[in-house]
């Protein structure tokens, strides 16, 4: 099989507890789970096109955009990384209508175990994809709020008690203990009752969601692969976790190379 074109981040879903991956490449979509255990080759064609405007760019900004689009799109603004800094109410949102559609919709505050327990937020419609993208082996939604700003306020408060980052090397090695997310949830919510009332958050009663990944062998040593340094990357695809391909010669974060034009041979 040979396919070519610009790629996007892998699309994910959860079926019978296992993460499923498909890679958009050009006008095609590849079932990546089906390639696990096979030799693949990915070749960078020295071309990058903005995923928004389609223009050629020498460098990808904000995971797939040209510089002008990265400066003008609300989805590339700092408030996406730091939702507590949302400035839509000040009338300074880069794309007010986009902000209304994406940031003023139900959001979930959750706990996930990817390299230890962490707190995170996502749009309600983006579960379980968000957890799979982070390589979480388990996740637990704990609160629902009306806006991204409210979810950011809760995340900021909970960061005093629990991490909000993933150790990606630990995640990829699968050096992750089975942890009690429900007990942690109860302890954390007891710390912020006033804020929960202030933003009118709704508690979510849910069981822990366990996630397995299509991996034959986890790496014991992390070697990061990069198309900017090595235009042709090949090897046995030993697994997929997060947005990473686990090859026998190293790990490749495909999300980092969104909008790169590649040729896939398998």
Residues 62-111: pLDDT tens digits?
999 999 999 999 999 999 999 999 999 999 999 999 999 999 999 999 99
pLDDT at 156: 97
pLDDT at 46: 97
Mean pLDDT of the chain: 97
Assess whether the previous peptide bond of 128 is cis (omega < 30° from 0): yes
Query: 203 — phi, psi (to 5°)?
Result: -70, 140
pLDDT class of 246 with cuts at 50, 70, 90: very high
Q: Could you give the percent of the chain with pLDDT greater than 90?
A: 100
List Cβ neighbours of 7 (8 Å cut-off, separation of 6 or more). 23, 24, 25, 254, 257, 258, 259, 260, 261, 262
pLDDT at 88: 96
pLDDT at 223: 97
Tokens matching residue 172: 């990829």
pLDDT at 52: 97
State the Cα–Cα distance between residues 225 and 250, nearest whole angstrom.
6
pLDDT at 150: 97
- Give 92: exposed, middle or buried? Use CB within 10 Å, 0-12, 13-18, 19+: exposed
β-pairing, 39-48 vs 28-31, is unpaired
Q: Contact 196/154 with Cβ under 8 angstroms?
A: yes
Specify the pTM. 0.95
pLDDT at 110: 98
pLDDT (mean) for 116-136: 97
**Where do the domains of the chain lie?**
2-54+215-265, 107-210
pLDDT at 113: 98
């Amino acid at each position: 099989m040979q396919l070519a074109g610009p790629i996007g981040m892998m699309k994910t879903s959860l079926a019978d507890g296992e993460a499923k991956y498909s890679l958009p490449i050009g006008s095609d979509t590849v079932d990546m789970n089906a390639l696990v255990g096979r030799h693949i080759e990915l070749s960078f064609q020295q071309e990058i096109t903005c995923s928004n405007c389609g223009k050629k760019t020498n460098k990808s900004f904000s995971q797939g955009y040209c510089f002008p689009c990265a400066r003008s799109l609300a989805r590339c603004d700092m408030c996406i990384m730091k939702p507590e800094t949302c400035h839509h109410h000040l009338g300074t949102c880069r794309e007010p209508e986009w902000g209304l559609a994406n940031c003023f919709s139900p959001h979930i505050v959750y706990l996930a175990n990817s390299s230890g327990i962490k707190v995170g937020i996502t749009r309600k419609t983006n579960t379980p994809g968000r957890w799979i993208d982070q390589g979480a082996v388990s996740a637990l939604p704990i609160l629902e709020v009306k806006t991204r700003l409210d979810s950011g306020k809760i995340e900021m408060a909970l960061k005093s008690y629990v991490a909000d980052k993933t150790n990606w090397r630990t995640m990829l090695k699968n050096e992750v203990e089975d942890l009690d997310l429900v007990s942690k949830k109860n302890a954390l919510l007891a710390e912020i009752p006033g804020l929960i009332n202030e933003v009118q958050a709704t508690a979510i009663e849910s069981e822990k969601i366990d996630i397995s990944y299509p991996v034959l062998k986890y790496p014991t040593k992390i070697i990061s692969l990069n198309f900017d340094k090595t235009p042709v990357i090949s090897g046995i695809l030993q697994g997929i976790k997060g947005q990473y391909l686990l090859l026998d010669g190293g790990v490749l974060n495909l999300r980092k190379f969104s909008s790169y034009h590649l040729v896939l041979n398998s």
